[in-house]
Amino acid sequence: MTAASAPAQRGVLHRWGAVLPLTPATPLISLGEGDTPLVRSARIEALTGLDELWFKLEMCNPTGSFKDRGMVVAVAKAVEAGARAIMCASTGNTSASAAAYAARSGLESFVLVPGGNVAAGKLAQAIAFGTRLIEVDGNFDEALQAARELTSRHPVALVNSVNPHRIEGQKTAAYEVCEALGDAPDVLAIPVGNAGNITAYWKGFGECAEVGRSSTHPRMFGFQAAGAAPIVLGVPVEHPQTVASAIRIGKPASWAGATAARDESGGLIEAVTDDEILEAYRLLAGKEGIFCEPASAASVAGLLKLSREGRLRGGRAVAVITGNGLKDPDTAVSQYKPDVTRAPATVAGVERALGW
Ligand SMILES: *Cc1c(COP(=O)(O)O)cnc(C)c1O
């Protein structure tokens, strides 16, 4: 094959290597992550009072969540450093991503998950990628504490978002948003769990403004689930509860990064209830054709809430759609009464069943 006909190299390390901490020894691994669609809202926009609402479809990453952007950098740097194994604590998506990039790189992976609290699709992914799954009797925060301790004692690289390479990779989404819109948006709406992603976007937008990729930076609007809203309350939540399992976190590792993003940008971090999250979840699927997981809908639920309170006036917002709805089939099934009609397998039979 000639160079001209070879497909272009995709992926965060190829596309954004210049703004990442790579060296000539960093392996340029890729599953084609990043470069996700930025699509304009078709119908929710009109409900918000915004001039423009856009969705950054991070659910389109290879394992179905934004975690791939940071994981590819963390795993590449782990390989570069000679690691043979990686470990993370996870509410699900980090484990799916870590396990995928470990499989691809020939590393062993160990995943600590809160027992009985991980969405079925995410577990299926981690298992398929051949991870060593450790179900702990505790919540995510306890699992992360254990993972930190274990990786300090054993020759295993920690790939949670406390690993700065994760944040570096995830910041590339902000670069893509600025590139697609020709500038930073006025508002960036994002769900907040362990708070690595809001920290990463804020870093990315800051860098974009610094080098002239944007003329301004957005106000950062972070949204936590009401039952897991430590940053809103100002104190850790011991028993976080929400349908949005990806943000069921009571003691965010990047707490300081999130409040810095909020305060430096003139933004806010507020809570949305599970009912508000599920309303946005159904609206995104039914009015936009976007089937995301519940945590992702928190960004849109937050914008709808602010708009109902008369606190959104015009401007251009981007809502980050962090993960794919297929990951949590149980919530999907519980939210809908399927519209199913039984019919004989004949034209006349289907016509009769539909009343045509
Ligand atoms: C990890 C995750 C979040 C939360 O991101 P943080 O960086 O932990 O704040 C939100 N939504 C989905 C789908 C996730 O996987």
Give 88-124 pLDDT, tens digit per residue: 999 899 999 999 999 999 999 999 998 887 889 999 9
pLDDT value at position 327?
A: 95
Token pair recorded at residue 7? 């497909």
Ligand 1 center to 246 CA (angstroms): 5
Task: Note the pLDDT tens digit of each residue in 233-263.
Answer: 999 999 999 999 999 999 999 999 999 999 9
Whether 160 is in the pocket of ligand 1, judged by its Cβ within 6 Å, is no
In which residue ranges of the chain is pLDDT below 50? 1
Distance CA 73, CA 196 (A): 14
Residue nearest to atom 14 of ligand 1 (CA): 246
Backbone angles phi, psi at 37, to 5 degrees: -65, 145
pLDDT value at position 274?
A: 98
Whether the CB-CB separation of 213 and 205 falls below 8 Å is answered with: no
pLDDT value at position 3?
A: 54
For the four alpha carbons of 224, 230, 231 and 233, in that order, the dihedral sign comes to positive
Whether 68 is in the pocket of ligand 1, judged by its Cβ within 6 Å, is no
pLDDT value at position 5?
A: 65
Whether 194 is in the pocket of ligand 1, judged by its Cβ within 6 Å, is yes
Whether 192 is in the pocket of ligand 1, judged by its Cβ within 6 Å, is yes
H/E stretch holding 274: helix 274-288
Ligand 1 center to 321 CA (angstroms): 10
Residue nearest to atom 1 of ligand 1 (CA): 246
pLDDT value at position 1?
A: 47
Q: Which of 69, 91, 197, 277 to mutate to test the pocket of ligand 1 (most atoms within 8 A of CB)?
A: 197
H/E stretch holding 109: strand 108-114
